[in-house]
Chain A
């Protein structure tokens, strides 16, 4: 294996631990830091969701944390929003794009650093401040909390904009010699396109959040929350119902994040499917076009909604339309994944299992999205079980599976060792079964509540069925969250029990990051500039090896084949 940095034995503290070089401008350190941030957020978010489910099923039981705040409905709503904020902002948005993207984009395109390291640093720490603010906002009284939450959203948007400028500039300007656009890995394409999309979306969100914040703090008159609340059902409006307002503002942000969260996941999945099926991506250029389509259609639908309502955060949601606008490009991506898997020599590693899990969840969630697109689901409907089940499958859990797949795949490059495969597989199957048991019954629950037209006797029967389904969902939630302890054990066990000298390219992958040592050395490619000779997915291109790495010159490839 030819590498650019044979003699560089990985330094002991390679930023792999969270404490080493906390205030660093280095892209790999920042990428890892984002992942740590996401890990902390996802664990908190999961615990919160369990508490919420337990509260729904057994409202009389004293539940820690919820019991302390006397189980008021406002607190319940606030905890739900905290769960949503942590997951959407700091897991789904942060991990696939900012975590893996920061770490891998320069490596995959053959750069030493991001284009603007200092900006990257600022962006990361703004994200940390925003995480702190959003978490803290739920411990304040509701009125103050809402303001703190909005201010944190402003900071988050600002950080996302800085990152977006950084990512796009890096991709445009810092590609290695020979790394033409068609040769760029689909992952790098996805990060790039997502950065462009974020650049447009987060500027609008920044403007919107600033205006709402100014309304609340300085008394300006951009949007009228009063008229929004006046149009809600009477039982929801009690003295300017703050939880409702807060929930509405949360969705104002979250509906834009559908794309920002999913685009990099599509890239990761395409990349892993090709690598583990040992086949080139089927119709690679069309896949890139489909990714552009996700961004373009997404922005057009969302942008139309935004600009038609004058950015009014209290205008009715278009969540269902947004999700179904993914339809055509997503169908194409699915076709490509299946086409790549077709006749492939599929290797069922843990990363690949999570990848296939993603595809399964994406299909299941996408199918229920078709039902949603038919109904007019105005503002309040978002809390309904059917919608909750739908977006959790397609956005929440599917994206989490992509993150896990990426983590298992790139763990050697990130930390210099592999995670335990057997433990990973057990974790996968438990989680996979668990999430289906949570979110499929949730769809049924949503349908049950729609059955208002039935005669009374049947409704009573359905209501009792609903209660047992609810219990099933709660039990499945506890099951799934418990299963994650396997992941935590695997993660930290691998990290601290790691043996040195992981091979550079354990998965026999073809992109540039696998041409250097594991964990990736500080200088990335050593003293030599990397050069690229071919596309990113040339599997089965050669007799001796079943793949041709991007960095190997044709001369060396021939020599190696002898």
Chain B
């Protein structure tokens, strides 16, 4: 950039003008110094991982809103004359315990990662993934039990809501299992983020799934 290089190098006595934006001034040399000589090749850094934390937080808000909307529909619809309560199958309480346990093992795995114990991390992370899959299988079995009792999606409003809550949650958990597997198998040498970031972002989502499930199962149990 021949035209501007000279401009950067000339020392100017600066009157403090035109900085009434009110914010922080960028540190000196941020603009002029670095690229002024034009010899350093542009550095290729990993972009800041902060965006993944922000992104997952916003995604969680959005998912929460989705379920809140359904919960509002559930609560408004509950008093209707065609409402036949659905009892939460016992198996689902067992599934709840499995999901809670997975959150525990996930945290243990992250602690291993913090201690740079790759083997321990892999093991515990695998246990978490297995518990997540076990939860999903358990949900499918619970649905089959309900179908065995003659309770279908189309039976009545209560059953419709029961299936949509558990089904939509299961879909979101499948996404979580996908993220767990991604962290397991991704070669983080080539990725834009480190394994630590991947594991942490995944853990936010997974714990949220856990808390959401507690809310949903409480809603279905108390609100029937």
Contacts and interface: CB of A to CB of B under 8 A. Distances in A.
A532 B19 CA distance: 10
Contacts of A166: 55
Given A207-B66, A527-B35, A528-B31, A220 B7 contact: no
B167 to A, nearest CB: 9
A221 B61 contact: no
Contact of B3 (A6, A174, A309): A6
Contacts of A558: 12, 14-15, 17
Interface stretch (A43-51, A68-76, A197-205, A371-379): A197-205
Contacts, number: 182
B164 A211 contact: yes
B58 A168 contact: yes
B116 interface: no
B5 to A, nearest CB: 10
Interface string A85-123: 000000000000000000000000000000110000000
B148 interface: no
B91 interface: no
Nearest to A220: B160
B112 to A, nearest CB: 29
Contacts of B3: 2, 6
Interface string A203-231: 11011101100100011111100000000
B34 interface: yes
Interface in B189-218: none
A535 B76 contact: no
A199 B63 CA distance: 9
Contact of A177 (B2, B20, B30, B62): B30
Given A169-B51, A310-B77, A559-B7, A178 B23 contact: yes
Contacts of A219: 153-154
B157 A559 contact: no
A180 B23 CA distance: 6
Contact of A222 (B15, B23, B73, B75): B73
Interface in A494-530: 527-530
Indicate the member of A182, A210, A535, A553 with the most B CB atoms within 10 Å: A553
B69 A535 contact: no
B89 interface: no
A203 B65 contact: yes
Contacts of B46: none
Nearest to B4: A2
How extensive is the interface on chain B, given as a class?
Answer: 35 or more
Interface in B18-65: 18-27, 30-32, 34-35, 42, 48, 50-51, 54-55, 58-59, 61-63, 65
B156 interface: yes
Given A7-B1, A310-B75, A529 B20 contact: no
B28 to A, nearest CB: 9
A554 B18 CA distance: 7
Interface string A289-319: 0000000000000000011111110000000
A537 to B, nearest CB: 10
Nearest to A201: B65
A204 B154 contact: no
Contacts of B70: 207, 211, 311
A413 interface: no
Given A115-B55, A211-B164, A533-B19, A559 B10 contact: yes
A261 interface: no
Contacts of B2: 6
A173 B50 contact: yes
B77 A178 contact: no
A205 B55 CA distance: 21
Contact of A554 (B14, B35, B75): B14
A533 B54 contact: no
A165 interface: yes
- Of A168, A169, A181, A218, chain B has the most CB atoms within 10 Å of the CB of A169
Given A222-B157, A311-B73, A214 B164 contact: yes
A541 interface: yes
Contacts of A200: 61-62, 65
Q: Which of B7, B18, B25, B161 has the most CB of A within 10 A?
A: B18
A420 B33 CA distance: 41
B90 to A, nearest CB: 24
Contacts of B51: 115-116, 169-170, 173-174
A178 B25 contact: yes
Contacts of B54: 115, 168-169, 172-173
A559 B12 contact: yes
A4 B25 CA distance: 19
B157 A221 contact: yes
Contacts of B73: 207-208, 211, 222-223, 310-312
Contact of B153 (A6, A183, A218): A218
Nearest to B72: A307
Interface in A521-562: 527-535, 538, 541-542, 548, 551, 553-559
A118 B25 CA distance: 33
A1 to B, nearest CB: 9
Nearest to A555: B12
A531 B30 contact: yes
Contacts of A281: none
A161 interface: yes
Contacts of B67: 207
B82 interface: yes
A407 interface: no
Contacts of A211: 70, 73, 164
Contacts of B35: 527-528
A430 B23 CA distance: 45
Given A218-B154, A554-B16, A554-B18, 10 more contacts: A169-B51, A178-B24, A182-B21, A182-B22, A208-B73, A220-B160, A222-B157, A530-B31, A533-B21, A559-B10
- Which 6 residue pairs are nearest across A and B when measured between Cβ atoms? A310-B76, A180-B23, A219-B154, A203-B65, A220-B160, A527-B42
24 contacts: A116-B55, A173-B50, A177-B31, A178-B26, A180-B23, A182-B21, A183-B23, A199-B58, A199-B61, A203-B62, A203-B66, A207-B66, A210-B168, A219-B154, A220-B154, A221-B160, A222-B77, A309-B76, A528-B31, A531-B26, A538-B18, A548-B18, A555-B12, A559-B12
